[in-house]
């Protein structure tokens, strides 16, 4: 029994070393049978990226602002005479378009017809008085001539009597009587002369009264005309506040009307945007603040600024646009938004309307206004190439260069002012790159699609 246990224990003791030796031998055989390892150098080919070339181009910068449509003229028609309204045009309603010359409101003219007749009668009386004064003047001139002739005869007779007195052919009393006749004739001449001299002043008084009467007739004729209110232009009625049989006093509001041949849009633009356009203004350096002032000759000023405009309806098809004219620039900044107002006009907004496509521009529509300035030099890069305010460039050794830039976004492009930004390379990375480590090696490939998009955009601008 003991011998059997001892033999079993000795067998287990030698089995473990044999297994270990066997495993080591197999491992050595496997290692020896493997091919010998060869060293290979690591080749860094660079990170694949797409790139494009950028350069300086002449571009017309544009800025975008927003504003509401306003009528060019909004007329608040008020009663110029008082009276009862006897007629109101049946189509005098808000939103209706009426042609120029349409009789829209008529006020009872009975009192004004009577007043006109009275004024005309007064005028006729003053004309008669003036004509009578002319006859009086003619009579006075004739009387004066006769009185002078009478004085001349009396004076000659006095001379004859005095000569006869010296010869004692007449009595002294006869001479005295003739001298008295001469004095009376002289007094009559003087009296008639004074009356004739005073006639021009009386004539002036009558002439003034005549002019007053003529003015009164004109005033009554004007009041009579004011009882009939016609439209002075093709108008769209904005509001109505009068009805038939209503009594209206002087200065009572009747209705409001607005012109339809032109509308205005007062769009607001940020100051940095206006500074971008101001580089193309044809103005001396000491007049650069003129764009926020209204010039005396607005047309000349606008030509010197070289601004053109297009407007489109916000929320509508962007392809539907209206050509606009820059009318003027606001003289002050908006106190809340600190923006500059630019007023543009669109001519014939109703005539340009296309049903279902291009609506007429009416008051209150919210519009987007795009201003364009004169061509200026800019470095143009796609906005997609901008990464958190930086451009990724490749240098001559095809290594990554990160350059912070500030520009002006215009549609899908970024405009860089060459006076403020000088790119370290003309080859920019257009693809995403992560991680982007300065100095890392790149494997650039030309981005022909981005280059073509840039060319197409430049052709359109």
pLDDT at 291 (0 to 100): 46
pLDDT at 409 (0 to 100): 85
Residue 295 has pLDDT above 50, yes or no: no
How many whole angstroms from its chain centre is CA 329?
Answer: 7
User: Is residue 41 within a helix (H) or strand (E), and if so which, with residue range?
Assistant: none
At 326-357, the pLDDT tens digits run 888 887 777 787 888 889 999 999 888 888 88
How many whole angstroms from its chain centre is CA 259?
Answer: 15
Asked if residue 217 and residue 155 are part of one domain, the reply reads yes
pLDDT at 266 (0 to 100): 92
Domain that residue 277 falls in = 62-68+260-375
For the domain that residue 123 is a member of, what is the CATH number? 1.10.287
Asked if residue 206 and residue 117 are part of one domain, the reply reads yes
Asked if residue 409 and residue 349 are part of one domain, the reply reads no
Other Cβ atoms less than 10 A from the Cβ of 249: the count is 10
Asked if residue 118 and residue 93 are part of one domain, the reply reads no
At 60-86, the pLDDT tens digits run 888 889 999 999 999 999 999 999 999
For the domain that residue 252 is a member of, what is the CATH number? 2.40.50.100
17 belongs to a structural domain: no
Asked if residue 204 and residue 123 are part of one domain, the reply reads yes
Above pLDDT 90, what percent of the chain? 32
Is residue 413 classed exposed, middle or buried when 0-12, 13-18 and 19+ CB atoms within 10 A define those classes? buried
For the domain that residue 351 is a member of, what is the CATH number? 2.40.30.170
Q: What is the pLDDT averaged over residues 97-112?
A: 94
Last residue within a domain, chosen from 331, 346, 375:
375
Asked if residue 321 and residue 249 are part of one domain, the reply reads no
Is residue 361 classed exposed, middle or buried when 0-12, 13-18 and 19+ CB atoms within 10 A define those classes? buried
Q: What is the pLDDT averaged over residues 370-383?
A: 88
The two counts, helices (H) then strands (E), for the chain are: 6, 24
Above pLDDT 70, what percent of the chain? 86
Both tokens of 289, joined, read: 């603040």
What is the pLDDT confidence band of residue 294, given thresholds at 50, 70 and 90? very low
Asked if residue 160 and residue 105 are part of one domain, the reply reads no
30 belongs to a structural domain: no
444 belongs to a structural domain: yes
Spatial contact of 413 and 459, defined as CB atoms under 8 Å apart: no
Q: Supply the pTM of this predicted model.
A: 0.65
pLDDT at 105 (0 to 100): 95
Closest residue by Cα to residue 218 from 120, 127, 79, 126: 120
36 belongs to a structural domain: no
123 belongs to a structural domain: yes
Closest residue by Cα to residue 415 from 442, 386, 440: 386
5 belongs to a structural domain: no
375 by DSSP, 3-state: which?
coil
- Residues whose CB is less than 8 angstroms from the CB of residue 249 and which lie 6 or more positions away in sequence, other chains included: 79, 82
> What's the N-to-C CA distance of the chain in angstroms?
111
Asked if residue 339 and residue 319 are part of one domain, the reply reads yes
Peptide bond into 435 cis (omega under 30): yes
- Residues whose CB is less than 8 angstroms from the CB of residue 309 and which lie 6 or more positions away in sequence, other chains included: 323, 324, 325, 326, 342, 344, 369, 370, 371, 372
Q: What is the pLDDT averaged over residues 280-295?
A: 53
- What does pLDDT average to over the chain? 84
Asked if residue 410 and residue 318 are part of one domain, the reply reads no
User: Is residue 61 within a helix (H) or strand (E), and if so which, with residue range?
Assistant: none
Asked if residue 299 and residue 192 are part of one domain, the reply reads no
Last residue within a domain, chosen from 215, 236, 258:
258
Rounded distance between C-alpha atoms, residue 343 and residue 297, angstroms: 16
Dmax over Cα atoms in the chain, in whole Å? 230
pLDDT at 336 (0 to 100): 80
For the domain that residue 438 is a member of, what is the CATH number? 2.40.420.20
Q: What is the pLDDT averaged over residues 389-416?
A: 88
Tell me which of 390 and 159 has the higher pLDDT: 390
Asked if residue 97 and residue 242 are part of one domain, the reply reads yes
420 belongs to a structural domain: yes
Asked if residue 244 and residue 371 are part of one domain, the reply reads no
85 belongs to a structural domain: yes
Please state the domain count of the chain. 4
């Amino acid at each position: 029994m003991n011998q059997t246990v001892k033999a079993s224990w000795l067998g287990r003791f030698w089995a473990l070393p044999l297994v270990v030796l066997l495993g080591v031998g197999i491992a050595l055989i496997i290692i020896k049978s493997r091919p010998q390892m060869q060293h290979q150098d690591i080749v860094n080919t660079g990170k694949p990226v797409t790139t494009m070339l950028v350069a300086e181009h002449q571009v017309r910068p544009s800025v975008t602002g927003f504003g509401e449509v306003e009528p060019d003229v909004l007329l608040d028609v008020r009663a110029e005479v008082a009276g009862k309204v006897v007629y109101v045009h049946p189509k005098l309603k808000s939103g209706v378009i009426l042609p120029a010359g349409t009789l829209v409101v008529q006020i009872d003219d009975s009192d004004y017809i009577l007043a006109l007749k009275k004024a005309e009668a007064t005028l006729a009386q003053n004309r008669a008085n003036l004509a009578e004064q002319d006859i009086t003047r003619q009579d006075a001139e004739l009387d004066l001539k006769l009185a002078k002739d009478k004085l001349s005869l009396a004076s000659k007779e006095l001379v004859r009597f005095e000569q006869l007195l010296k010869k004692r052919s007449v009595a002294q009393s006869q001479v005295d009587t003739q001298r008295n006749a001469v004095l009376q004739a002289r007094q009559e001449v003087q009296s008639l002369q004074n009356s004739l001299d005073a006639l021009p002043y009386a004539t002036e008084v009558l002439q003034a009264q005549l002019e007053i009467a003529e003015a009164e007739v004109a005033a009554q004729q004007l009041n009579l005309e004011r009882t009939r209110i016609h439209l002075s232009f093709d108008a769209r009625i904005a509001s109505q506040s009068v009805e038939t049989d209503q009594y209206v006093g002087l200065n009572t509001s009747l209705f409001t009307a607005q012109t339809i041949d032109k509308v205005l849009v007062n769009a607001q633009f940020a100051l940095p945007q206006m500074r971008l356009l101001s580089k193309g203004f044809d103005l001396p350096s000491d007049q650069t603040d003129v764009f926020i002032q209204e010039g005396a000759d607005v047309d000349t000023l606008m030509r010197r600024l070289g601004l053109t405009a297009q407007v489109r309806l916000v929320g509508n098809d962007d392809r539907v646009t209206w050509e606009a004219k820059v009318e003027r620039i606001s003289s002050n900044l908006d106190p809340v938004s600190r923006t500059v107002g630019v007023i543009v006009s669109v001519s014939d907004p109703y005539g340009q309307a296309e049903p279902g496509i291009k609506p007429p521009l009416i008051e209150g529509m919210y519009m987007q206004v795009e201003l364009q300035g004169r061509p200026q030099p800019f470095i143009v890069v796609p906005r997609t190439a901008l990464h958190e305010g930086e451009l990724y460039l490749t240098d001559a050794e095809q290594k990554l260069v990160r350059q912070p830039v500030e520009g002006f976004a215009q549609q899908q492009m970024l405009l860089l002012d060459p006076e403020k930004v000088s790119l370290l390379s003309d080859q920019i990375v257009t693809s995403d790159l992560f991680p982007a480590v300065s100095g890392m090696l790149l494997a650039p490939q030309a981005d022909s699609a981005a280059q073509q998009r840039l060319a197409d955009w430049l052709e359109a601008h």
